[in-house]
Structure 1
Amino acid sequence: MANGFGSLYVGSSGLRGAQNAINTTANNLANLNTVGYVREQVIFADETYNRIKDVTTRTNMQQNGLGVSIGDVVHIRDIFLDKAYRLEEGRSSFYNTSYEVVEQVEDFLQELNGMEFKESIQELWQSFQEYEKEPENSTNQNLVIEKTELFLTRCDSLYSDLISYQDNLNEQIKDSIDNINKLARDIYKLNSEIQKVESAKLETAMTVRDIRDAKIDELATYGKIRVEEDATGFAFITFENIELVGTDRAYEIELRKDDHTGFYTPYWKHLSDKRVGRYQDVFNLDAVISPEYDSDIGKVKALMLSRGSEYGTDEYLNGDDNDGTPYKELKKSSIMEVQSEISVLFRKIVLTVNNHFSPLKESNLDTITGTLDDGTTATFTYDNGTVTYNHIDKNGNEDIFVFKDEDAYLDRVDGKVGKTYRKANSILILDEENASYGIDNELPPRELFVRYGSDRYTKLTAADGKVYYVYNGERVDNPSTHYSLSRVEVNAEIRNKAGLMPCYTKNGAVNRDLSAQLAQAWEVKDMIIGPDDTIPCNISAFYDKIVGRTANRGSAYHSAGLTLERSAAALDKKRQEVIGVSSDEELTKMIKYQSAYNASSRFMSVISEMTELIVTQLR
């Protein structure tokens, strides 16, 4: 028994090592169903060795040791699987969030107000078909008014639902950013705690690491992250390529609120200067969404793209920019796209009806100057597609309005289908030759849909006594003068007295051509749903296209989300094979360590008996 009682040290170290291994295995079994728990494994190491004789040419080195020790208790993790899993989780979150938004929009279109909206379009068309039979019949006239009001109500309801959902997504973005900031702060604190525990290199902060890793997994669902851990156990994290958790702090993301919409835009507080209006946005929403560029990652980006930057209008869908910028912006947002498409459909119906009830024509004049009913003078000027209105009131105050360069309902195609849209080449005026009259036989004829902020015509009496009814276009500076959702109502005069609805010729005969053209105009296939649509359709089919395109977008998101979910699940399964606790494996280890403990115990008993025998015999 070299070194005296050295064998006792060997036996006791075996007992301690086996007992620690049993405790670790028991802890693994106790956390078998604990979410986020990473199994622990005991790493044994040799205890101190005593050298007896150095190596020579004739003998090997002789040494004896003091048994076994616990070298470390380690987390069993695979950093490459963690990285791959977090990436797939981020992508899955992006597409699943996008799909959830589209699914909700589909509900608005098909199951909630959507079906009612489609029915209101059909019923309005049917009312004009009845109106065509007897336009002078008050019952048919009132039916048109009733269905028109219903159509407006349901249009506004659908559009308002979409706006409310945008606001809901906006709040989700705010909540998500709050969670990201909280996760960053928590991870930073956990980093510091891990460093404190492990600084003496006596133990590993197992539980703290489990909590931190679970928070990093959660953070990965919000955006693109990269994690690097240094030798001290500190995890540095970048979020969307900018440092989020650094050496000395967790950096904060703040929100910039749009004055018009109230929409939030996340930006980096430490890289921005609010005093001069310079902001470093967190997300690059102009990037092409593609796995190739790692730009399809995270819930927050999906929420921001789906919400959009504005409320969608027909101007986005029919943007005149040569590079298609408005439409490109529109295509990023599933909600803005549907809002714009609904706005285009609404505007088409409104202008089709109004331009049949109160037709327009080109004056072939670039300037019309005349006197208003109050005796003041006004001038309309046409220049390169733009009309400007100039008026000086009795107090000498000058008003100058610029009207949008818009398509007018011009050019007769044939006697059956009325007119088509194109750009006007001069000032637009009432087409008195083809105008219809209400029961009062007065000009100008009343439009059915009126804008809140503008009359349809300005009456000007020229110096030669000729009267012009000049069309008041949609002003650039005043959205209330546009034929847009929530800015149009049924003409109060017609609503109060249906007989004022235009349906007679100047000589008092019923204008059946007007009602026939109006009913047939719904079948004209002159609508496309965007620059990428090559098949024109009529008013009824346009709504079906809206639903179909939304469904296609949702299907694409759903398919991508499912694929990425399966990929993330497969990676998580592999992760669990590494970090997860297997009851069978742990029970096998328990038996092994229990046997080792028993063996060490028997070894100690033998050494004790030998010692007792030697001491007794020496006596």
Structure 2
Amino acid sequence: MANGFGSLYVGSSGLRGAQNAINTTANNLANMDTIGYVREQVIFADETYNKIKDVTPRTNMQQHGLGVSIGDVVHIRDIFLDKAYRLEEGRSSFYNTSYEVVEQIEDFLQELNGMEFKESILELWQSFQEYEKEPENSTNQNLVVEKTELFLSRCDALYSDLISYQDNLNDQIKDSIDNINKLAKDIYKLNLEIQKVEAGKLETAMTVRDIRDAKIDELASYGKISVEEDATGFAYISFENIDLVGSDRAYEIELRKDDHTGFYTPYWKHLSDTRVKRYQDVYNLDAVISPEFDSDVGKVKALMLSRGSEYGTADYLNGDDNDGTPYKELKKSSIMEVQAEIAVLFRRIVNTVNNHFSPLKESGLDTIEGTLDDGTQASFTYDNGVVTYQHTNQNGVVDTYIYRNEDEYLDKQNGVAGKEYRKANSILILDEENASYGTDMELPPRELFLRYGSERYTKLTASDGKVYYVYNGERIDNPSTHYALSRVEINPEIKNQAGLMPCYTKNGAVDRKLSENLVLAWEVKDMIIGPDDTIPCNISAFYDKIVGRTANRGSTYHSAGQTLERSAAALDKKRQEVIGVSSDEELTKMIKYQSAYNASSRFMTVISEMTELIVTQLR
């Protein structure tokens, strides 16, 4: 023990150390319920030692200390628990966000304006069942018109709701990216503040570190992050394997907007060259979604995958590449998949009705040339699945349109029971032999569903006087000519006069075979929901498959999200055991440090009395 006044330094250091420890413990207790607060812990260290005698072969070194000091007040964290928690939190955000999207889609499918969407399909079918009983009855005809209008309005409303929801997700992506950029800038500023405070090695920036760590935790919910802290307290952060917070700045993520859909795609500003349209995307959406590759992390990625890159159409579901790329692209997006499935269902219903009311057949010809009713010349040429239409108008200008000739049409030769839909290998024309007539007994018979941008037929009189009603396929360059959602209306002529609906044979008799075949066609099991579907179904069951597959997707997301939530909660609980404030533990420390303070105080009293005694006796 030190002699003389040196002992006072020992006692004094004990008082200061215990007082500082009490203050730190009191601060922990005061912030016990503060969100994001990390408990502080006092680390004691020896004060300077005074040497009395050097070590010799026979004796040890002799020295006495000047007491104890506060070596540091440390920020108690476990970097391994932080890393594990942030990864699980990111994964949980990915699956929970994906589930929320599917849950909303399920609401669209099951409830639309207070009624199930499926009801509009069933009611349309029931109207055709009534129509079958008496096709010529105006009441039954008007019922078909009424239910067709209802079916179209609900289809359009459903598809419109899905598109609006895509736009909503798109806005969420923008808001999330804005927040990521703000978090990165805030973390960078906090890094500089921490460096400034801790540069003298006398103080730890506790409060600033708490704020920064809370922001890093929040950032982890948006994507995969990695954090490395250097000796100066500066935290370097990578986001989706690219530097987000560097030594000299916070790197910015920008958004490019698709001209057609308005959909945003995040890209790294500092790694892209917008002048040549070369972009380094932030998220790799082509990666297989799997925990094995850490590719299932982050809310924004889930939003982008759920939203998709386009509006889903029937073409995506059918696929047009040998490797099924469009279908693979479709399967990534919950909304696009349902949009495409609804589009396929809609298209099948439309074609089923139209191809019975106004049947088609193959002409067996690759070229049909002739004169239109206005005296101008026109021609149709078939080649490898497409039909080229050329028309020379009265001013001598040649208009050229290219139609897809792969529309499925009903092959009536096989009969209804064994009917099949085939793709045409020549120019399609009206099947006059099997056509039915309305009350006006005119050709061509009217289709029930009319495209906004195209009539069903072009009447062409060949040089030999033969009249062809050539089918106007869907133009490749003009989506308005497609039998697609939001581009089809009920034929206004039939809507205004239901009697024009085809229901008579050429000799004027009621065409009961037409209505019978139409009802039977509804029940034919020839629809599959995608390349991975092996069980054909009818029109009504197809919608049930849409709902079922959506529910299965949602169940998978929900299950994964709940599991990861529990995992993240367990890790956070372990984290809280390290960083959290326990009132029992802190009160125990308070008693310990108070006892240490009392002991140092008594020690000082004894030294004081001893010194006083020595001084008094020396007199």
TM-score, length-scaled by structure 1: 0.99
User: Do the aligned partners of 1:10 and 1:68 also contact (CA within 8 Å) in 2?
Assistant: yes
Q: Indicate the residue corresponding to 1:617 in structure 2.
A: 617
Q: Indicate the residue corresponding to 1:339 in structure 2.
A: 339
Q: Indicate the residue corresponding to 1:306 in structure 2.
A: 306
CA distance in 2 between counterparts of 1:285 and 1:583 reads 47
User: Do the aligned partners of 1:438 and 1:499 also contact (CA within 8 Å) in 2?
Assistant: yes
Q: Indicate the residue corresponding to 1:165 in structure 2.
A: 165
Deviation at 1:31, TM superposition (A): 0.8
User: Do the aligned partners of 1:413 and 1:420 also contact (CA within 8 Å) in 2?
Assistant: no
Q: Indicate the residue corresponding to 2:605 in structure 1.
A: 605
CA distance in 1 between counterparts of 2:116 and 2:595 reads 75
Q: Indicate the residue corresponding to 1:98 in structure 2.
A: 98
Name the aligned partner's letter for residue 119 of structure 2.
E
Q: Indicate the residue corresponding to 1:594 in structure 2.
A: 594
Q: Secondary structure at the match of 1:463?
A: coil
Q: Secondary structure at the match of 1:574?
A: helix
CA distance in 2 between counterparts of 1:43 and 1:393 reads 94
Deviation at 1:320, TM superposition (A): 2.0
Q: Secondary structure at the match of 1:542?
A: helix
Deviation at 1:59, TM superposition (A): 1.8
CA distance in 2 between counterparts of 1:305 and 1:113 reads 28
User: Do the aligned partners of 2:52 and 2:62 also contact (CA within 8 Å) in 1?
Assistant: yes
Name the aligned partner's letter for residue 136 of structure 2.
E
Q: Indicate the residue corresponding to 2:565 in structure 1.
A: 565
Q: Indicate the residue corresponding to 1:14 in structure 2.
A: 14
After TM superposition, list the pairs within 5 Å mapping 1:57-206 onto structure 2.
57-113=57-113, 115-206=115-206
Q: Indicate the residue corresponding to 2:552 in structure 1.
A: 552
Deviation at 1:518, TM superposition (A): 0.6
Q: Indicate the residue corresponding to 2:365 in structure 1.
A: 365
CA distance in 1 between counterparts of 2:346 and 2:261 reads 22
Asked if 1:35 corresponds to 2:31, the answer is: no
CA distance in 1 between counterparts of 2:103 and 2:416 reads 41
Deviation at 1:410, TM superposition (A): 3.1
CA distance in 1 between counterparts of 2:123 and 2:415 reads 25
Name the aligned partner's letter for residue 250 of structure 1.
A
Q: Secondary structure at the match of 1:522?
A: helix
CA distance in 1 between counterparts of 2:408 and 2:15 reads 95
User: Do the aligned partners of 1:109 and 1:115 also contact (CA within 8 Å) in 2?
Assistant: no
CA distance in 2 between counterparts of 1:329 and 1:115 reads 31
Name the aligned partner's letter for residue 84 of structure 1.
A
Deviation at 1:613, TM superposition (A): 1.3
Q: What are structure 2's unaligned runs of at least 5 residues?
A: none
Q: Indicate the residue corresponding to 2:447 in structure 1.
A: 447
CA distance in 2 between counterparts of 1:456 and 1:204 reads 78
CA distance in 1 between counterparts of 2:355 and 2:113 reads 28
User: Do the aligned partners of 1:376 and 1:393 also contact (CA within 8 Å) in 2?
Assistant: yes
CA distance in 2 between counterparts of 1:190 and 1:93 reads 25
Name the aligned partner's letter for residue 158 of structure 1.
L
User: Do the aligned partners of 1:114 and 1:158 also contact (CA within 8 Å) in 2?
Assistant: no
Identity of aligned residues (%): 88
Query: For this pair of structures, how many residues does the alignment match?
Result: 619
CA distance in 1 between counterparts of 2:532 and 2:114 reads 24
CA distance in 1 between counterparts of 2:310 and 2:266 reads 16
Q: For each residue in 1:377-406, what CA deviation from the matched residue of structure 2 results, as whole angstroms up to 9, or x when unmatched?
A: 100001122111011111111111111142
Distance 1:113 1:521, change over 3 A: farther
Q: Secondary structure at the match of 1:201?
A: coil
Name the aligned partner's letter for residue 110 of structure 2.
Q
Asked if 1:291 corresponds to 2:304, the answer is: no
After TM superposition, list the pairs within 5 Å mapping 1:229-268 onto structure 2.
229-268=229-268
CA distance in 1 between counterparts of 2:420 and 2:357 reads 15
Name the aligned partner's letter for residue 45 of structure 1.
A
Q: Secondary structure at the match of 1:441?
A: coil
After TM superposition, list the pairs within 5 Å mapping 1:473-492 onto structure 2.
473-492=473-492
CA distance in 2 between counterparts of 1:216 and 1:2 reads 49
Q: For each residue in 1:204-248, what CA deviation from the matched residue of structure 2 results, as whole angstroms up to 9, or x when unmatched?
A: 000100110010000000000000000000000000000000000
CA distance in 2 between counterparts of 1:332 and 1:203 reads 51
Q: Secondary structure at the match of 2:523?
A: coil
CA distance in 2 between counterparts of 1:245 and 1:113 reads 48
Deviation at 1:617, TM superposition (A): 1.8
User: Do the aligned partners of 2:357 and 2:446 also contact (CA within 8 Å) in 1?
Assistant: yes
User: Do the aligned partners of 2:2 and 2:66 also contact (CA within 8 Å) in 1?
Assistant: no
CA distance in 1 between counterparts of 2:262 and 2:435 reads 45
CA distance in 1 between counterparts of 2:112 and 2:374 reads 50
CA distance in 2 between counterparts of 1:2 and 1:229 reads 42
User: Do the aligned partners of 1:25 and 1:586 also contact (CA within 8 Å) in 2?
Assistant: yes
After TM superposition, list the pairs within 5 Å mapping 1:520-559 onto structure 2.
520-559=520-559
User: Do the aligned partners of 1:367 and 1:382 also contact (CA within 8 Å) in 2?
Assistant: yes
TM-score, length-scaled by structure 2: 0.99
Q: Indicate the residue corresponding to 1:214 in structure 2.
A: 214
CA distance in 1 between counterparts of 2:246 and 2:392 reads 64
User: Do the aligned partners of 1:183 and 1:219 also contact (CA within 8 Å) in 2?
Assistant: yes
Deviation at 1:2, TM superposition (A): 4.8
CA distance in 1 between counterparts of 2:2 and 2:34 reads 48
User: Do the aligned partners of 1:108 and 1:114 also contact (CA within 8 Å) in 2?
Assistant: no
Deviation at 1:367, TM superposition (A): 0.4
Deviation at 1:571, TM superposition (A): 0.7
CA distance in 2 between counterparts of 1:186 and 1:416 reads 69
Q: Secondary structure at the match of 2:475?
A: coil
After TM superposition, list the pairs within 5 Å mapping 1:393-408 onto structure 2.
393-408=393-408
Deviation at 1:414, TM superposition (A): 4.5
Deviation at 1:419, TM superposition (A): 4.0
User: Do the aligned partners of 2:110 and 2:117 also contact (CA within 8 Å) in 1?
Assistant: no
Q: For each residue in 1:489-521, what CA deviation from the matched residue of structure 2 results, as whole angstroms up to 9, or x when unmatched?
A: 000001111110000001100000000001111
Q: Indicate the residue corresponding to 1:510 in structure 2.
A: 510
Q: Indicate the residue corresponding to 1:458 in structure 2.
A: 458
CA distance in 1 between counterparts of 2:372 and 2:58 reads 127
Moved over 4 A (4+): none
Distance 1:438 1:480, change over 3 A: same
CA distance in 2 between counterparts of 1:218 and 1:485 reads 41
CA distance in 1 between counterparts of 2:295 and 2:113 reads 34
